[in-house]
Amino acid sequence: MRIVTSFIIILLLFSSCKSTKISSNKSVIKSISAKKIIKKHKSVSFDAATLDAKLKVEYSDNKGEKRNRHTFTVRLRIQKDSVIWMKGSKVIPGFKVKITPSTLSYYSFLTKEYFVGDYSLIEKMLGTKISFSQIQSVLFGESILDLKKQKYHADVENRFYKLTPKNQDKLYQIFFFLHPDNFKLKSQILEINEQNKTVQIEYDTYVSLDMEFFPKKIVINATDGAKYTKIKIDCRSLTLNKQISMPFKIPTSYKRIKI
């Protein structure tokens, strides 16, 4: 269950696939205003009503006495702005997750345990407010903050556009890097002040389908001092705007747990 819990917590911080490498442009990157960068990023927001994807997920960490590494497949289904549903398997079904704007639920076929609750407990663990839209944004390759709500400095760094809030939050610092080709995210980095914690989410390639861009590869690195958690997500197939089902029924014999 620790893998599922870590996977959810890191996300809370934040037909066939056609892979498009969008960081290969070798032309000169011209400086433009933060306002224009934000406008272009918003214009390519993911807009499909539904999503059905098959993912390969690799999880690793160095918590405890030894390093842990696991690989499993995940079926991801999203009804935009409403439900995020996941089913994870490793040879046999392992877990199901259902996230809505008000609740977070999951259960494990292996341990026969389940969790149902709102965001308050997770927010207490993270030390900050989080929302459904932020989780969705992490999966869509979009900024976890509403970029129009504050002012940003714009720079060009390592051939990507970089946005830095003019007034960083007292609890954390956040940075956004965007591909110059289509203004989707290259990475978003969260550094939690005075706790030596960092979460970095990388988006190197995207799937192009039906005029939408969806991350082909996502790499999430979370560090807490000498401890780390790494999650690699690889999209294997993607279908948009089709009718989807999200079966989620917790067996009555399963034991309720607290995270």
Per-residue model confidence as pLDDT tens digits over 115-157 = 898 887 666 666 667 788 988 998 999 988 889 889 999 999 9
Write down the pTM of the prediction. 0.84
Q: Indicate the angle between helix axes 132-140 and 2-12, nearest 10 degrees.
A: 90
Nearest to 218 by CA among 199, 237, 204, 239: 204
CATH architecture of 2-249: Clam (2.50)
Bridge partners of residue 118, in order along the sequence: none
Determine the Cα–Cα distance for residues 31 and 5; give it in Å rounded to an integer: 41
Residue 19 scores a pLDDT above 60:
no
Determine the Cα–Cα distance for residues 98 and 190; give it in Å rounded to an integer: 25
Which stretch of 68-72, 78-82, 180-184 has the lowest confidence by average pLDDT?
A: 68-72
Q: Give residue 21's pLDDT band: very low, low, confident or very high (50, 70, 90).
A: very low
pLDDT: which is higher, 126 or 77: 77
Which pLDDT score, from 0 to 100, does residue 237 have? 94
Which pLDDT score, from 0 to 100, does residue 154 have? 96
Strand 217-224 relative to strand 212-215: parallel, antiparallel, unpaired?
unpaired
Per-residue model confidence as pLDDT tens digits over 154-170 = 999 989 999 999 988 77
Per-residue model confidence as pLDDT tens digits over 217-228 = 999 888 888 888
Q: Where do the domains of the chain lie?
A: 2-249
Q: Give residue 229's pLDDT band: very low, low, confident or very high (50, 70, 90).
A: confident
